[in-house]
């Protein structure tokens, strides 16, 4: 990711987010051999496993992650980018 030094809420960098995503997928799939561009469902992921990943991400990142995000961003690389944007948006002050 290009903005590696940019901090997101709770001081999460793009690398931090990617490692959290990777750890979540590895825990759910019980393997450490997952390519960043592998599709979740092509790896045999189920809807239940998608919910488990989302739950882990919410716990680690401290934000609500839309369940649909994994379906819309089905690779670790895409999911990392989507989460980084979600965190950046959450950091923006609400306009009056």
Whether the CB-CB separation of 7 and 16 falls below 8 Å is answered with no
In this prediction, residue 95 has a pLDDT band, given cuts at 50, 70 and 90, of low
Crossing angle of helices 14-29 and 76-91, rounded to 10°: 130
Q: Could you tell me the domains of the chain?
A: 10-89 (1.10.1200.10)
Residues near 76 by Cβ (< 8 Å), separated by ≥ 6?
A: 18, 21, 22, 25, 34, 35, 36, 37, 38
**pLDDT at 7 exceeding the cut of 60:** no
pTM metric for this prediction: 0.83
The mean per-residue pLDDT over the stretch 28-50 comes to 96
Residues near 2 by Cβ (< 8 Å), separated by ≥ 6?
A: none
């Amino acid at each position: 990711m290009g903005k590696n030094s940019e901090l997101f809420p709770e001081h999460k960098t793009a690398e931090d987010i990617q490692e959290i995503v990777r750890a979540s997928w590895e825990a759910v799939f019980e393997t450490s051999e997952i390519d960043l561009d592998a599709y979740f469902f092509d790896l045999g992921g189920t809807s239940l496993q998608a919910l488990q990943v989302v739950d882990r991400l919410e716990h680690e990142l401290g934000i609500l992650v839309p369940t649909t995000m994994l379906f819309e961003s089905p690779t670790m690389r895409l999911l990392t980018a989507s989460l980084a944007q979600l965190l950046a948006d959450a950091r923006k002050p609400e306009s009056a």
